[in-house]
Amino acid sequence: MAPSHPTARSERETKVKSVCAFACTLADRLDNSHDAKLTEDLQAQVCNLPLPAISALIAKQDELENFGTELWNVSTRLRRDLLHTNGKITEESARRNREAGLLRVFSFLLLDSAGSQAVKGRERKNCIRLMKVALKAAKWCVENKEVDNATKVLERAAEYQEILGDEAGGERGEAELGERLRVEYYALRTALAWRSDRLDTAEHMFMKCQQLSRFLTSSLAESVADLLYEIGKDMLSKKEYEAAIRWLERAYDILGDQSPEMLSAEAGELKLSIMQSIVQAYMKLKTPDARTKAWHMLQLLEADHKGKMSISLLRLELLYSEDKVDPEQVYLVLHRMIHFVVLNDRNFKTIMHYVHKLKDQSAATACKALDEVISTRLFREEKEAWIDKAVITRVWITCTSFVVEGTLNQLREFFDDVLRNAKAPLSAHATHAAQTLLWKQVEATSSRGQHKEAEAWCGICLHALFNLAGEINKTKIARKIIMCALARHDYAAARGIFSKMSGPGQEDRMTRYLMYKVALHGNDPAAECLDSVCRQSSKDTSLLYACVIEAQQSGNKREGIAALEKLLEKYSDHAPAGVNLPALLRMTVRLLTSELVKDAVLQKDVFEQICRTFDEASIHAKVSRRRPRNSGREEFNNWEIEWLSKNSYNLAVKYCAEVPPNSLVRLLSACIELIKILKDHHHAQDTADDICLRLMFCHYLLVCTFTTLARAEDSMQDCIQHYVQVAKHGREFRVLGANLIDKLSLSSKADMVAKHLQVVKLELEASLKREQWDDLESLFSECWKYGGPTHYDTLADLVLIIYSSMAKDKVDSKYQTKVLSALQKIINASGKGASFDIVKMSRWIRCLFQLALTYDETVSLKCLDHAIRIASMRKGVTLIQTSPNLPKTPPPTSPASMDLDRPMTDEHVKEPYHYPATELEWLATTAFNHAVDYYVQEKDDKCKLWAEKALMLTEWAEKGSGLRGALIEKYSGLTWEEGG
């Protein structure tokens, strides 16, 4: 057995070294956001802590203390960074949050291992310090349901709280602070037990916490009350209502014991939430005693918050929880809400929701409340949208639940009142909705054979409140009255309705058909009506259009579309004089467009039909311009072609993101052909500019679309062909823009210049894919044609990608040099702005420096000078270029004291506009290494030049990095030849 002790001792020492080694590399691993194993490794290390007390641990005590303090500050910085994510929880932010939390636990356990001897020696100050850290770490674990880690942390904290609970020793201030920490400790133990589903333990820990309640400060009381509220709310969600009431009342009592003026503003909202949850918990118990307590608590709420909307809603919820809902009581609450609540969209929707619910108990009471809303508030607010919704709801209740004798007269009086006070008829949308509801009553009474009542409902539909119904709807209602009169054999009444219809309504084919039926049963000549129907069906183009319109009005637009397509097929090559081919095309496009979107879904087959129609239109337009059928009048005149071009253009722009790219290419190609025809026959300068602008947008969309097709194409041959089209339409866009962009207004010019740059970048991509290196120089020139872009990110990245591809394929160096020149120009231009992204700028400088190092060291030296200049200006120093043999080293700074309440901060985070320290250090290190290469080659002049540049860079690096001192030491160790 004797040999086992050295082995166990060796294992413990190895464990201590392993923990130190892991802690040493942890900060660097945290900077790598793609380290997928970091969370797993942190958890594994936490499981192995705290370290056992051995001599090796005592030797490492200071090192563990430093590691723990440093990593704790890093975790604080990480959590602060997470607060700037605007509350958006993503997979990445969740992972970083867990890393930061586990880092807190790990840091605490390191500090605990390092300070275990001090704790055992009962050093209260050190114990208070470790207790604070433990509680912060445990709080994160509890909030994030890390039960095992929370248990481990609080187990270690238990030792501290025992020491803090010892009344002997310590100053009074320290003793009170210790007791407050113990309160927070027991509160967290309560929360941990709750998270572990051990409510008996939670009760025990709460009792201990309650014993120390005299030490509660206002802020600590709010924190404990919030914790108890979360427990109660969780019990409420689990339908454990008695437990929920117990915890919620504890939270209520803790806040109630505090002086109101000492509580924060948030405490009032917390107390309100607690009381509301108590009411809901009592309400869910559904016992007489619980219901009584719920009403009592509600009365307390109403005493302090009578005007709050949420309190009224809670009363409504209580009313609806009763076995029998009293509609009058519901009405009284709604009455108070109507008169006292600030009316906004949300509150209006809430009131309307409860009016809907009230309808199920009493439709008459619901109408009473709704009439009060309209007359008391809506007329005064003058919100047309609200009035529209309220009127529609009133009609809905009347038509579905409240149809009794006298309903029609009441509804007519209601419409009269609205028309008098609303100052305008209902909107077209509201009119349509109301008439749809009324129309259902028309259909219902008509289907029951109650034709007289159906006529009365039609009369309501034609009320002056619905003046915006539109001619088609008015004609339809009038036709329904004629149909009812026909069913009652009252032909005189039918003729009277017809005489009151508008001229267009009288000439409608269906109206003439109904009057033909009336004429058949009377003394009126039927031939006149019959002739009208026949004439509309066979005479000329307008009559053909009427056939399709009738199909559309019958509710079957597809049949109308099919009829038009048959007409186009029949008359495409030899249309008679009476058939207007452009008009047929226009009607086809209109009908197809109306069917393009169904239930918010784009119909791709309909879009293909539209593309085919515009294809035919472009072909017929070109043929018509070459060989017009009527020498006296052009069939496809400028107006027709402009209509076709504008509509094809509008459809392409509207649905470019939804339709398949091939379909979009087809539509845009037809649009371009139509615009070119129009452009050739337009002479007015202002109109010509507008046409050219549309043509530019078409080419722009085609460039983007062909790029999309090329990127998605698996076949290399087809991909290249798509990029050929990108280059073609890009050139067309730039040629048009050369004559037009400078004529535009400032805002339009800015937009077009941005599109110009986008087109050029896509052309650069096309040249890259096709390996057309000779095109690059002219395209790079186009980037700066209008003063250069305002955002360089994608352009710089694209240039780097092009260079990478060239380097990979070993393209001629002259092309590579042009690419480097372009990148250098981007860097120079981006630095001239009033504000720019220093991080991206530094990355570009590094890339250009590294790429140019093998081709032209002059460019690399300029990069170093550029970086030095920017870094000095960002530090607020005006740089004076000197060439010292050895720059002076600033005096070392004293190490900062460790303060857990004030975490260490990273200068890069604190001052985001400084040149990134890592970039400066990389440039300095690489430049110095290059100097060493020259030193080995015995090129002393170049060695000094590069070394001095490197040392100048380190002057602006982080003071605590130690790089400057290291390079100066190495530089001082170099020896030079005489005269060198």
In one letter, which amino acid is 14? T
pTM over 0.85, yes/no: no
Confidence (pLDDT) at 626: 74
Query: What's the pLDDT tens digit per position in 550-560?
Result: 345 434 466 45
Confidence (pLDDT) at 560: 52
Measure the CA–CA gap between 286 and 297, rounded to whole angstroms.
15
- Please tell me which of 212-221, 324-333, 524-533, 928-937 the model is most confident about, judged by mean pLDDT: 928-937
Secondary structure (H, E, C), 936-950: HCCCHHHHHHHHHHH
Query: What's the pLDDT tens digit per position in 172-194?
Result: 666 777 777 787 888 888 888 88
Average pLDDT, stretch 569-595?
73
DSSP per-residue letters across 298-351 = HHHHHHH-TT-HHHHHHHHHHHHHSSS--HHHHHHHHHHHHHHS---HHHHHHH
Q: Residue 141: which of 112, 184, 109, 104 has the closest Cα?
A: 104
Confidence (pLDDT) at 572: 61
Query: What's the pLDDT tens digit per position in 225-258?
Result: 888 888 888 888 888 888 888 888 888 878 777 7
Confidence (pLDDT) at 662: 92
Residue 768 near residue 780 (C-beta atoms within 8 A): no
Hey, is 644 helix, strand or coil? helix
Measure the CA–CA gap between 623 and 639, rounded to whole angstroms.
17
Res 896 pLDDT > 50: no
Query: What's the pLDDT tens digit per position in 113-164?
Result: 776 654 444 467 777 887 888 888 888 888 777 777 777 877 777 777 777 7
Res 831 pLDDT > 70: no
Confidence (pLDDT) at 536: 59
Res 202 pLDDT > 70: yes
Assigned token pair, 657: 């993101």
CB-count exposure of residue 361 (10 Å: 0-12, 13-18, 19+) = middle
Question: What percent of the chain is modeled with pLDDT above 90?
Answer: 2
Confidence (pLDDT) at 701: 92
Confidence (pLDDT) at 394: 86
910 or 860, which is more confident:
860
Q: Which of 171-180, 510-519, 875-884 is the least confident region?
A: 875-884
Average pLDDT, stretch 369-379?
84
Confidence (pLDDT) at 551: 42
Confidence (pLDDT) at 158: 74
Confidence (pLDDT) at 213: 66
Q: How many CB atoms lie within 10 A of CB 95?
A: 14
Confidence (pLDDT) at 288: 82
Query: What's the pLDDT tens digit per position in 7-31?
Result: 666 766 677 777 777 777 777 777 7
Q: Specify the pairing of strand 601-602 against strand 597-598.
A: antiparallel
Average pLDDT, stretch 733-761?
84
DSSP per-residue letters across 823-891 = HHHHHHHHTTSSS--HHHHHHHHHHHHHHHTTT-HHHHHHHHHHHHHHHHHHTT--------SSPPPPP
Q: Which of 298-307, 372-381, 759-768 is the least confident region?
A: 298-307
Confidence (pLDDT) at 103: 78
Res 899 pLDDT > 50: no
Average pLDDT, stretch 402-428?
80
DSSP per-residue letters across 65-78 = HHHHHHHHHHHHHH
For 533-550, letters b (16+ CB in 10 Å) and e give eeebeeeebeebbbbbbb
Average pLDDT, stretch 570-590?
71
Tell me the backbone φ, ψ of residue 248, rounded to 5 degrees.
-70, -40
Measure the CA–CA gap between 654 and 55, rounded to whole angstroms.
76
Q: What H or E segment, with its residue span, contains residue 401?
A: helix 384-401
Q: Which of 26-35, 267-276, 499-508, 818-827 is the least confident region?
A: 26-35
- 50 upstream amide cis, omega within 30 of 0: yes
What's the pLDDT band for 891 if we cut at 50, 70, 90?
Answer: very low
